[in-house]
Amino acid sequence: MHVLRYGEFVTENKPSTPPARPVFRLCLQALLPEDAKFAQRILCNPARTSCIWQFVQKDYDALLVDLRHPESTRLLRERPMGSLIVLALAEDKKGLPGTMSLRLPFDEAILLDTMRQASEYLVRRSPMFQNRASSRDAQAASGEQGGEPMQASRKVNSLFELAEDIRKSLTRDKEVHVTIGQLKYHLFPQRRVYLSASPATTLKHYQGKLGEPIEISGANGGEQVSATVIPKRLDDFLWNLGFHAGGGRLFPWLNPSQSYKISRWPPMLESSNRTQVFRMVARLGRTAATPKEIALSTGTSEAEVHDLLNACSLVGCLQSDAAGGSGIKLVHSAPPPSLKPALVVDASRRPVVTRSLLSKIRNKLGISA
């Protein structure tokens, strides 16, 4: 089994700056499962909330609690000092003085309004946060948070240029609103989600030249996002943009003579040539290699490898050999001892896996390369 020495590699495209909107930690553990799912689905939509709610189970700022939950008493007793309690009450129950409350079953509008009040209370209560917010406001007024300033609204002429622009926005954790003809994408890097009526896979139709420029605007330049659009994972957008932006050309921040590997599998399933992509990813997961070496070992073209590396770079799972050159040796080692006894395969009863068998399974499932 491979042991990855992360220190030898540089992770591409790693976000580093603090978020621009208030971020609060909310615990939903004291709600019944269906209510918790509902609340999370509503409160995770950045177009509907004034702050970012992170859903956690400890060290939280606010606890949404249903007293019917069997663990509610314990959770209330063990809550972090100073955390805000929001009671979710059945219709026949009265609220408690000094607490915020809302009725069950949850109503979307009331839930959003109550949690907006909760976030405003948390902002007012936290001088530290107000200082941070003031500091960010000052930075926003004067331009940027370091690095070269970005225009509030700008135009680019290709997905390739869009990818470069979005990469810069990602490193700043900035909201970005993109208009490509009739398509509109609203990206919220802090939440790792995007909003759009169009799936990210539509981007593949915009590879190459476009009839009109792509418009990009920042947090204040974008139009109001419809609150009814369901958030989707930002990685889906970034993966599709990265995969289709280059058209076989490597992004300018990547180098064709450098060796690359992945720090994790990219979270993707959709691709027009999925099996080839998986083979390349499996290769990149085992040893570092240059684009040419990957193409040779997987029977793909260098252009296809470039598209994959672009996509991995944009979703942040690509690592490069910082020193340059190829032939990096990864250390092989036994896995660490597991805390629990793992199921051990009896050596005499291990299956014999052959290329022919794998090929048969692929053919049967219709997933041949």
Partner 1 sequence: MSFGGGQNEYKLLFTGPMGAGKTTAIRAISEIEPVRTEAANTTAGGGGKATTTVGLDYGEISLGNGERLRLYGTPGQDRFSALWEILTTGAMGVVILVDHSDPESYERMEHFLDSFAGLITETAGVIGLTHTEDAPDRPMDPYYESLAQRYMMLPVMPVDARSSEDIRGLLDALLSILESRLADSSVDSLSGDL
Residues that bind partner 1 (CB under 8 A): 1-4, 28-29, 36-37, 40-41, 44, 55, 57, 191-193, 230-233, 235, 262-265, 267-269, 274-275, 278-279, 281-283, 285-286, 297, 333, 335-336, 338-340, 342-347, 349-358, 360-362, 364-367
Is the Cβ of residue 267 or residue 327 nearer to partner 1 in the bound state?
267
Q: What are phi and psi of 306, to 5 degrees?
A: -60, -45
CA distance 11 to 29: 34
Q: Are 207 and 243 in contact (CB under 8 A)?
A: no
Q: Nearest approach, Cβ of 10 to partner 1 (angstroms)?
A: 17
Is the Cβ of residue 168 or residue 233 nearer to partner 1 in the bound state?
233
Q: Nearest approach, Cβ of 352 to partner 1 (angstroms)?
A: 4
CA distance 27 to 55: 6
Give the residues across from 215 on adjacent strands: 155, 179
Is the Cβ of residue 167 or residue 191 nearer to partner 1 in the bound state?
191
Q: What angle do CA 301, 306, 311 make, to 5 degrees?
A: 130
Q: Nearest approach, Cβ of 194 to partner 1 (angstroms)?
A: 9
Q: What is the DSSP secondary structure assignment for residue 4, as one 8-state letter? A: -
Which residue matches tokens 């609690």? 65
Give the residues across from 237 on adjacent strands: none
Token pair listed for 256:
């064709």
Dihedral angle sign, alpha carbons of residues 201, 202, 208, 212 = negative
- Measure Cα distances from 288 to 14, 164, 239, 304, 330 in Å: 19, 24, 21, 17, 8
Dihedral angle sign, alpha carbons of residues 192, 239, 276, 206 = positive
Q: Nearest approach, Cβ of 24 to partner 1 (angstroms)?
A: 14
Q: Nearest approach, Cβ of 268 to partner 1 (angstroms)?
A: 7
Q: Nearest approach, Cβ of 213 to partner 1 (angstroms)?
A: 29
Is the Cβ of residue 221 or residue 285 nearer to partner 1 in the bound state?
285
Q: Nearest approach, Cβ of 360 to partner 1 (angstroms)?
A: 5
Q: Are 309 and 291 in contact (CB under 8 A)?
A: yes
For the residues of 159-211, what is the DSSP string, one character each? Answer: HHHHHHHHHHHHHTT--EEEEETTEEEEEETTTTEEE-SS-GGGGGGG-S--S
- Measure Cα distances from 310 to 39, 121, 253 in Å: 36, 43, 9
Q: Nearest approach, Cβ of 199 to partner 1 (angstroms)?
A: 12
Is the Cβ of residue 156 or residue 312 nearer to partner 1 in the bound state?
312
Q: What angle do CA 299, 200, 189 make, to 5 degrees?
A: 105
Is the Cβ of residue 96 or residue 269 nearer to partner 1 in the bound state?
269
Q: Nearest approach, Cβ of 138 to partner 1 (angstroms)?
A: 28
Is the Cβ of residue 125 or residue 362 nearer to partner 1 in the bound state?
362
Q: Which residues are within 8 A (CB) of 124 and not within 5 positions of it... i.e. 6 or more apart?
A: 130
Is the Cβ of residue 4 or residue 123 nearer to partner 1 in the bound state?
4
